[in-house]
Amino acid sequence: MTTTEARPTERKPPQLVDMSWDPITRIIGNLGIYTKIDFANREVVECHSTSSLFRGYSVFMKGKDPRDAGFITSRICGICGDNHTTCSDYAQQMAYGVKPPPLAEHIVNLGEAAEYMFDHTIFQDNLVFVDFCEAMVKATNPGVLARAERTEAPRGDIHGYRTIADIMKAFNPFEGEVYKEALKVSRVTREMFCLMEGRHVHPSTLYPGGVGTMPQPTAFTDYLSRLMRVIDFVKKAVAMNDDVFDFFYEALPGYEEVGRRRVLLGCWGAFQDPKVVDYRYESMNTWGKAMYVTPGIVVDGELVTNNLVDINLGLRIMLGSSYYEDWVNEDPFVTHDPLGNPVDMRHPWNQTTVPVPQKRDFDDKYSWVMSPRWFDQRTGDHLALDTGGGPLARLWTTALSGLVDTPYVKATGHSVRISLPKGESLPETTLEWRIPRWSNTIERDRARPYFVAYAAAMALQFLEEAMGMVRAGETKVFENYEVPDEAIGCGFHEAVRGVLSHHLVIKDKKIANYHPYPPTPWNASPRDMYGTPGPYEDAVQGQPIFEENGPDDFKGVDIMRTVRSFDPCLPCGVHMYVGKGKTLTTLHSPTYGANHG
């Protein structure tokens, strides 16, 4: 289908083809997408998201010394391990009743800001944008590329490219200018991370109670010098992404439906305010709202809550289509939270993981991923929240909450304004991310460079405050503590790709129960016990197909764009199988034949 053809409004007899992509990996190949595609009507009619790997961290964490939790759980992921360490430390600090010194909080914030900048850049520019680059568009939508070659880039004065096709060419893998520059930026931002957290990606200097980073002035000035080297790249990235994504809406009318689902977004918050946070559960609502990324749940555009206590109590872990035994008839670990609120048996504090390996059956059990849901007390629904790939939910909840008000970032109630200083070639710039009309593939991707800018801007504030403390002699970075005989804790953070929680139960000074929930289980969850599909499934199922290729040479680029828009833990290898697809049914009019237009 070219850019000049209107999408058909009348339904044709369906031509169903079974096509699958497995694996779509994180670092290892454990994510598969199985679809039924109607090529006659150019849409995906069914989708199942599967995971073929059982990890088992919640099983072997039991009995361990809780102080080891951060180091162990960082190995859950080979790209965002620091997010797990940070979140684990938050949970432990609640359980131990310890508050790190303010300078330690700034060091953690600086490390996490560098991680966001590193990961989002390498993912967006070296993985996501391969699906939008010249080579891919030429292979899947040559009509779109021809139009891109004739379309002036509206923000060319910022990024330096004359046409949309020029931008696409700059993202060609291994050859394009931006592709190669992004690799250099990812190296610099990783260096920034290591200055704060010691080692990437499994931090060597993060502990409950503080950090082991030596707070020397050079650590912060070295971080700042690197940050200023990438500031202009960040400004250009936002402009290039806006130009390309605006072009896709224009060139392919109806493309907003690709990856579109109901607005069901969750964000658990990031960047603690040292002046407010004390890690006590009883005050979690207060210090949660003081985070520099505001937690929240958005349903149909409405901010349902930004209270971390409410968010915590609404968590439910469902089974349905996953390979596990249920635990609801067992004795609970936690009956009430520290405020006296009842805790549901399907809450992570009470979960027990008992794997039951079996044959994959799309009518029954088909994935090792459980189905995290959030219980909406207003309606009684168990909501299949997604993270919008991380940035979309973070920006949306922060914008609606209107609580963040700093010299560099301001939430307005309908947008987020981000101010970046003068760089090597570009002047001081204020960017504004506005709440979009849709939660879809393009808006998930568009939000990512804006959040890189957000992280860079907040890093400037953290640096100023940290260096001010060092100059004032406030260099304490660790607070001692004792491990209690019994305690519970929960940590809420944002991994790069979205919501991250760790729930901890301590008995006899050992871990009695521990459940980490990263963003990908939320996004990649299968159908739950009520038959509700997970976000990948929901976003792909029903979406239109704009690729011009037919079944014989189909690349599935629109499907891949949708899955990757969620940032499924760095899908660095995708392999399609089942050959050219297996035709399930071909129904046609007996009068005109299957090929009648």
Phi, psi at residue 307, to the nearest 5°? -95, 115
**Nearest in space to 220 (alpha carbons), one of 479, 477, 468:** 468
Task: Say if residue 572 carries a ligand binding annotation.
Answer: yes
**Nearest in space to 539 (alpha carbons), one of 521, 519, 524:** 524
Q: How far apart are CA 503 and CA 332, in angstroms?
A: 14
Phi, psi at residue 592, to the nearest 5°? -105, -15
Task: Give the side-chain half-sphere CA count within 13 A for 534.
Answer: 32
Are 26 and 568 in contact by the 8 Å Cβ rule? The answer is yes
In the structure encoding, which two tokens stand for residue 435, read together? 């709440």
Question: What helix, strand, coil percent values describe the chain, rounded to 5?
Answer: 40, 20, 40
Q: How far apart are CA 70 and CA 59, in angstroms?
A: 16
Task: Say if residue 80 carries a ligand binding annotation.
Answer: yes
Q: How far apart are CA 271 and CA 457, in angstroms?
A: 12
Q: How far apart are CA 73 and CA 80, in angstroms?
A: 10
Task: Say if residue 194 carries a ligand binding annotation.
Answer: no
Phi, psi at residue 175, to the nearest 5°? -120, -35
Phi, psi at residue 212, to the nearest 5°? -105, 5
Residue 478 burial by Cβ neighbours in a 10 Å radius (0-12, 13-18, 19+): middle
Task: Say if residue 47 carries a ligand binding annotation.
Answer: no
In the structure encoding, which two tokens stand for residue 503, read together? 């729930």
Task: Say if residue 87 carries a ligand binding annotation.
Answer: no
Which parts are annotated binding residues for Mg(2+)? 575
Which parts are annotated binding residues for Fe cation? 80, 572
Which parts are annotated binding residues? 77, 80, 569, 572, 575
Which parts are annotated binding residues for Ni(2+)? 77, 80, 569
